[in-house]
Amino acid sequence: MKTKLLFTLLIFWAISGFAQQFGQQQVISTETEKPYLSIPFDIDNDGFVDILTASGETYKMSWYRNLDGNGNFSSEIIINETPVYYLSVDFVDIDTDGDMDILYLSNNASYIAWLENLDGAGNFGTEQIINEQDFISSVKTLDMDNDGDQDLIVALANSSSVKIVWYENENGQGTFGPENLLIQNDNEFAKILLEDIDNDGLLDILATEFVYVQGKIFWYKNLGNATFGPMQIIYQFLYVQSGGTNIIGFEYADINTDGKKDLIMTSVDDNSVVSTHWLENLDNQGNFGDLQSIILDFYDQYLFYDLDNDNDNDMLLWNRDLDNVSWKKNEDGEGTFGTPIIINAAADFASDAKAADIDGDGWLDIVSASAGNNKLAWYKNNTLGISENEIANYHIYPNPTSGVLYIESKLPISQISVFNLLGQRIETTIDKKQIDLSKAETGVYLLKIEDGNGNFQTHKIVKE
């Protein structure tokens, strides 16, 4: 009886625990002093996910090349030695030459700058300052004037006003024009995101403010022609109910798996109690439900990814005070999250974490930066990857492809999805045996094929 019970427990562990477990820490480097960024991106365009970081000690930006697509990395490669503390770093094609440049927001002094990608192989030019202001809280890119290049949307404050403005990329080469006012506001903006709130094909502005009594989250409708509508409040904490609550962060992600992105908000009250709740997106028209149950009750930083590949968004967490990296499973696909599952309990001053497919097996691994012990590290997703025995169920062609990808299947296909190596869905088709990737950038992607019973397989594909 004991033998049978032990065997049953082992089988259960093999099915459930192994399928959700991340491996031991694999150190990428300890060369960067006090790293506080761990940004995965294919910097040298070789189909493997590299890691960009920055030092809180020497203030250098650098990267580590993924040498073989299996998670073996090079030594540190310096990108920018100008002393900068990076508030945000984004890969954007600023000069419209087909490769990704680096756009960043600096703190102390506060300015926006970019580094030109010189050759698509990981070599970048010197810092080019776009704009310097007293206080800049966010910078985003959007083709405001529909001329085929990326303009800048910036939330800033100076001695006379608080506003959101935009700067035209005048020649498509990174030369930006004067400030154009979009929105005037009374309070400083804490954070802005560009999201299509009302599902009309135009990116709206989602934002919060720096306030300490009745924090609110709101949006401005993109009316087209570089104009935005008035503030529309989504949710506001009332002082009489919350005792004075400020929203200190938010994300926009589908957590109840209904195809609509919900709002996840982190707030702090006047007793310094930190909580994270969510608001259900009711109709993709800017209407959201009531405040849902707490999904975090202390100050973890978080992002949403499908970490166990079950078609819903889980939570990746990191906490610099508790020195850990962990994740929470979306238990029912409806936004009910389980207890934290520790990935690394000794990430000394965990400063950042992201998910990406580091070893090319079709599953999202974890990358982290811990400033306290100078470690950049990654953790393999040990869920079983692509099975060679299962691939015979599907014939995928042509691979590489320059446009339409076809799937011959022995089983009915319910959905085909394509993800980049950072886990971002770029294309989906339902009840078809083909998918058009003609608009996708050149590179390596993951093709996920689902049948009518909810079973799925993941395959690596190449877009030429």
Tokens 């959201």 locate to 288
- pLDDT surpassing 90 at residue 394: no
pLDDT higher at 423 or 188 = 188
pLDDT tens profile 336-379: 998 999 999 999 999 999 999 999 888 899 999 999 999 999 99
Domains, the chain? 26-379 (2.120.10.30), 394-463 (2.60.40.760)
Tokens 């924090």 locate to 215
pLDDT tens profile 291-320: 988 888 778 999 999 999 888 999 999 999
pLDDT higher at 400 or 283 = 283
List Cβ neighbours of 356 (8 Å cut-off, separation of 6 or more): 40, 49, 364, 365, 367, 421, 422, 423
What DSSP element (H or E) covers 143? none
- Mean pLDDT in the chain? 89
Mean pLDDT of 36-60: 97
Confidence of residue 428 (pLDDT cuts 50, 70, 90): confident
Please tell me the pTM assigned to this model.
Answer: 0.86
Across 353-362, 386-395, 422-431, which has the greatest mean pLDDT?
A: 353-362
- In angstroms, the CA 340 to CA 343 distance is 9
Residues 207, 213, 215: CA angle, nearest 5 degrees: 20
Least confident of 77-81, 151-155, 382-386, 416-420: 382-386
SS3 188: coil
Distance between terminal CA atoms of the chain?
A: 58
Question: And the tokens for 436?
Answer: 């058009």
- For every residue of 347-383, DSSP letters joined together read -TTEEEEEEE-SSSSSS-EEEEEETTTTEEEEE-B-S
